[in-house]
Structure 1
Amino acid sequence: MLGVVAAALGGPEVLQVTELPEPEAGPGQVVVRTRAVCVHPADIAATTGEIPRGPVAPPFSPGWDIAGEVVSVGSGTADLRVGDRVVGMIPWYLTRGTPGGYAEFVAVDADWMVPLPDGLDFVSAATVPLNAQTAQQGLSLVSLAMLPAGSSILVTGASGGVGGFAAQLAAQDGYRVLAQAGHGDEEWVHGLGAHEVIPRSADLATVGPVAAVFDAVPVGEAAAAAVEDRGVVVTTRPTPAIVPDRGVRQELQLIRLDRELLARLVEQVAAGRLLTRVAATMPLTEAADAHRRVLAGGLRGKLVLTAG
């Protein structure tokens, strides 16, 4: 089978298409024929070695989110069968690329996958697991602050993957959402339920003050300047401490796999209650060019690799 591996640490040029042995399903595992795998900034960070816990020694395969069909089932796997359509998240923070999703077939723990509803296509489904779970788990940290009903929350990067889901979920939770987005994305972000869309160029210190910030980019201190005293800031990567702290609670949201949560989120996307968008698809064999496009910026939506 064909797969894509990072043969060294570096830019997109380190990604190589190669023949890999077809995987076998071990106990509690399934082999998935990968139909779609989402390209994330985390994949690029892995190839450059800029990830938590330090770089992974090459060769390894990038790829967190896959959607496809079960082609074989290992012993002790009860709830998935050959032919099932599935979507899921390879917890790359644990696997460190063994496995990764950039391959035509991947052996994964059955607990990493959830059924894919008939109304949701493989490509759209592959944009959901990492982004939507991060958004929901980050908003759970905001809810710990017991904010009054209707409190305002600022979401940075609301036209992106995590930020787009965060804006929608926050609006569904009853927050008044101020969403920061790039030029040309205003209509999309308004459609996610944002009450107000703020230009990316805006000085966030002049916004609010808001009770909470979901800093999905993250931009760090610039976003924290919008939060009120004793408010809460949630970021998706480590950022410096707020100075002065003003009693602001800072929380770091790093993804953790939650199968039940993932199943609920996928169902919401399938039902049209949560929106996602795809900027483009490219063949798996063009993964290096896909990384170049992500690095160049300007994509409206996620870039998804397709196989099979």
Structure 2
Amino acid sequence: MRAILIKKFGGPEVLEVAEVPVPEAGAGQVRIKVEAAALNPVDLLSAGGFFVHAGRLPQLPAYGVGWDVAGVVDAVGAGVTGYAVGDRVIGLSDQLDRAPDVQAEFAVLPATDLAPFPAGKTAAEAASLPLNALTADQAIDLLELPEGGTLLVTGAAGGVGGYVVELGKMRGLKVIATAGAADEELVRSFGAAEFIPRGAALTTFGQVDGVIDAANIGADAVTAVRPGGGFVSVNGSQPDTDRADVRGLAVMVTAHGPRLAELSALVEKGELTVRVSEVLPFEQVTEAYTKLAAGGFRGRIVLAP
């Protein structure tokens, strides 16, 4: 089968299509015939060797790529219940040392990391959900805000930020969103109670109970937090808030099939918004990752075998 692999470190040009054996589903695992796999900025970090250089991964001959997947169950391993051949599913691959990973024609994941495919959506739309929605959901969990609390989210027009707005509102939070001025209508459609244009002072509405820094603004966003409040980094690194009266937190997203199933159901109901910018074939992997690195788009770039 074909799979996207990293065999040397560098920029988008190092991501290549390679022929590898079809993986087998072991005990508790499901094999998926991949229909779509979304790209993420973290994949560019993998391509650049960040996780190896940081000592978080061993040196290997090749690394697989991808976190988000949508497809059809092709085989099930021993002990799997709840899924059968032919079921359409989505899933999150949160292990960086898999080779190949989900940007491949077939992918193997634990059955517990999967969820039903959201009915009425395309494969590309379904594949855009897992990483960003689970990251947003788990970031809100970290803050432990009471209903009626105030939450500021930076990068509210982006993948993670948009879900923070929608999920935060569902939890009864007052969500204050910051994004580019041209994105105000979009962000308000997600449910933001207040909007701050990018570049404006983030204390415009006073201090908030918590911040989820989806845009990686850092220190400037910390100024918006009240004493005793929380600040969440979504890049996996513990933030240095430089304030003893603010809890610095970092979300390290983990696969969670049952919660992903709930998020998928919210997509079906129209309560969570899935956005796709472009779908490209595997053969255009360099172009796809070059576009990802350049930024400037709304929605996800997705690869299809």
TM-score when scaled to structure 1? 0.92
2:86 corresponds, among 62, 76, 83, to 83
| Distance in 1, Cα, partners of 2:46 & 2:103 | 13
1:71 corresponds, among 59, 69, 74, to 74
2:250 corresponds, among 244, 247, 252, to 252
State the match for 1:158 in structure 2: 156
Is 1:59–2:57 an aligned residue pair? no
State the match for 2:198 in structure 1: 200
Give me the identity figure in percent: 39
Amino acid at match of 2:15: L
Cα-to-partner distance string for 1:52-111 (whole Å, 9 max, x where unaligned): 653553411110110000112222222211111010011224xx2334111111122222
Counterpart mapping for 1:286-297 below 5 A:
286-297=284-295
1:179 is displaced (CA, Å) by 0.7
| Distance in 2, Cα, partners of 1:206 & 1:115 | 41
| Distance in 2, Cα, partners of 1:17 & 1:253 | 31
State the match for 1:14 in structure 2: 14
Kept after mapping to 1: 8 A contact 2:69/2:90 = yes
Q: Mark the CA change 1:86 to 1:224 in structure 2 (over 3 Å): closer, same or farther.
A: same
Is 1:141–2:139 an aligned residue pair? no
State the match for 1:35 in structure 2: 35
CA RMSD of aligned residues (A): 1.7
Kept after mapping to 2: 8 A contact 1:156/1:214 = yes
Is 1:129–2:126 an aligned residue pair? no
State the match for 2:241 in structure 1: 242
Aligned pairs, number: 301
State the match for 1:174 in structure 2: 172
Runs of 4+ deviating beyond 6 Å = none
| Distance in 1, Cα, partners of 2:89 & 2:10 | 32
1:205 is displaced (CA, Å) by 4.7
Is 1:231–2:226 an aligned residue pair? no
1:207 is displaced (CA, Å) by 4.9
Compare 178-187 and 221-230 and name the one that shifted more. Answer: 178-187
Amino acid at match of 1:306: A
1:150 is displaced (CA, Å) by 2.4
| Distance in 1, Cα, partners of 2:223 & 2:28 | 47
Compare 158-167 and 107-116 and name the one that shifted more. Answer: 107-116
Structure 2 SS opposite 1:79: coil
| Distance in 1, Cα, partners of 2:119 & 2:227 | 47
Structure 2 SS opposite 1:293: helix
| Distance in 2, Cα, partners of 1:272 & 1:220 | 32
Is 1:48–2:48 an aligned residue pair? yes
| Distance in 2, Cα, partners of 1:59 & 1:241 | 33
Kept after mapping to 2: 8 A contact 1:46/1:56 = no
Kept after mapping to 2: 8 A contact 1:63/1:97 = no
Kept after mapping to 2: 8 A contact 1:46/1:55 = no
1:275 corresponds, among 273, 276, 289, to 273
| Distance in 1, Cα, partners of 2:267 & 2:206 | 31
State the match for 1:111 in structure 2: 112
Structure 2 SS opposite 1:275: coil
Kept after mapping to 2: 8 A contact 1:179/1:197 = yes
Structure 1 SS opposite 2:293: helix
